Structure 1
Amino acid sequence: MPKEDILHHLDTCTDFIREALAQNGNVLVHCYFGVSRSSAAVIAFIMKQHDVEYQAAFDLVRSKRRFVQPNPGFVSQLKLYRRMGCKIDAQYQRYKLYRLRLAGEQVRKAKILPQSFNSLIKSDPAVTQENPEPIVYRCRKCRRVLASKSHVLLHNNKSLAASATANNGLPPMSSNANTDAQQAPRLLEQIAAQIRKASLNSPTGAGAADAAKEQQPAVCRDIVFVEPISWMRNISHNTQGRLHCPKCEQKVGNFSWINGCQCPCGEEVSPAFYLIPSRVELSKAVQNVQTTL
């Protein structure tokens, strides 16, 4: 099934195949139809062994067996595996979101977070640490540290991305004919400037890095989505609820394992653990880390 977790088996599969081939052995990779599961394992091995992208590995495997076709869920997991360098990177943002979605599926079924997912709940950043992170989010009322920068799950501003796509990076056209006529020369100048800029910043030019940077979507800051943190009460035994500051009890956010949350920018994040920007503040002082009981 597309939602089945095959990602966490890929390292075992690829290691087995590599070791067998290193000993001049033969390997039979099989499943019921030889279409999705077995092909996913072989594609993962090709990507890792030959350092190629998903599509190249898929094309090679299909050239040997024309029936192969991993299901959409496996394809997404294989591409994530490749983005992580063909290994599990627990700090990679997309991997964190993937693990949260797996946990959300389990909570949807059992109404409780299985113990195998307890590692998703991060330690409290307000507890004294040897090397505390300098950038933290604090309760705006009592200044209690709630989350570190590494706990934040970023997402792109969907509304800005949609606007940029619709306008293709150019100013929106006016519906007024007279205004159009007056602004036409200016618009042509802007288009010419856009073309010159694209030419200068093309991958073959000196400004390739700047061009790539400009093309990246803007990060949304309407809502602060974070990983589950140990100060969040009852998140292991409830499917959704409110998040209260553990010191002053003020509501600072909400959580939901199954419904998620739609950001004002239009992006939907699920599962969602988020802090309300008006209830928290960003601090860049290391000394804000305190000891809590």
Structure 2
Amino acid sequence: MESALEVSGQTTQMESAMEVPGQTAQMESAMEVSNQTDVKSEEKPQMIYRCKKCRRIVASQEQIVSHERGQGKESFKWKKRTGAEIGQPECTSIFVEPMKWMQPVEEGYVAQKLKCLGCNYRLGYFNWAGMQCNCGAWVVPAFQLHSSRLDEYRM
């Protein structure tokens, strides 16, 4: 019986600690902010990526790995730069997490082409050591899908 009283005494101490006026206001404002971000995330349409040839679903927005833009041409070999182009190039590919449909990944390869399961169309490449995006950023490990070989659909 003493242990039950001790436990109930501890809960009342915890409840009284939670009832500090400044903390409750902070907790309420934090809850409001999280509710607002939930609403904003629901408003954002989800992207689905499909193989351009057979329309099989390949990836969704949740599986995309974002990367910071590199410096563009300056990130590549200095002998090949001309300096004529100004501005940041658009990324022509997306990087995703490894997925079950990627057979070479499942087979244990370190680097290989990624092909669609439905039609065997080459969608991109992967390399566990990483690879450089056309914007100049390095992504490690890299599971790269070329945007020109995918169709984007908003849900």
Query: Do they superpose with TM above 0.5?
Result: yes
Q: Hey, what's the Cα distance between the residues in 1 that align with 2:100 and 2:115?
A: 12
Richer in strand (by share): 2
The residue aligned with 1:269 is 139
In the alignment, the residues of structure 1 paired with residue 91 and residue 132 of structure 2 have an alpha-carbon distance, to the nearest angstrom, of 13
- 1:143 maps to 2:55: yes
Greater relative contact order (CA < 8 Å, ≥ 6 in sequence): 2
Tell me how large the CA RMSD over aligned residues is.
2.2
One-letter amino acid matched to 1:242 = K
Q: From 230, 247, 256, give the equivalent of 2:127.
A: 256
Indicate the SS of the match to 1:221: coil
**1:231 equivalent in alignment to 2:101:** yes
Q: Give yes or no for contact 2:63–2:96 (8 Å, CA) kept in 1.
A: yes
Matches within 5 A, 1:206-221: 221=91
2:154 aligned with 1:278: no
| Deviation string, structure 1 residues 30-85 (Cα, Å, up to 9, x no partner) | xxxxxxxxxxxxxxxxxxxxxxxxxxxxxxxxxxxxxxxxxxxxxxxxxxxxxxxx
- Whether the aligned pair in 2 keeps the contact of 1:140 and 1:279 (CA below 8 Å) is yes
Distance 2:104 2:139 in 1: 20
Share of identical aligned residues, percent? 36
Gaps of at least 5 residues in structure 2 are 1-44, 75-87
Q: What is the alpha-carbon distance in structure 2 between the residues aligned to residue 221 and residue 264 of structure 1?
A: 6
2:112–2:126 Cα contact (<8 Å) kept: yes
Quick one: distance in 1 between partners of 2:124 and 2:52?
A: 12
Moved over 2 A (4+): 218-222
Partners of 1:154 and 1:281 in 2: CA distance: 19
Once the two structures are TM-superposed, the CA of residue 159 in structure 1 deviates from its matched residue by 2.3
Point out where structure 1 has 5 or more consecutive residues left out of the alignment: 1-132, 163-217, 286-293
Give the number of equivalent residue pairs: 96
CA deviation profile, 1:206-241 (whole Å, cap 9, x unmatched): xxxxxxxxxxxx995322000001000020311110
The one-letter amino acid of 1:234's match is: P
2: CA distance between counterparts of 1:234 and 1:151? 18
* Equivalent of residue 244 in structure 1, options 103, 115, 126: 115
Q: Which amino acid aligns with 1:150?
A: E
State whether residues 156 and 219 of structure 1, in contact with CA within 8 Å, keep that contact through their aligned partners in structure 2: no
Kindly tell me: are residues 283 and 219 of structure 1, through their superposed partners in 2, closer, same or farther at Cα, counting changes over 3 Å? Answer: farther
Amino acid across the alignment from 2:48: V
TM-score (norm 2): 0.56
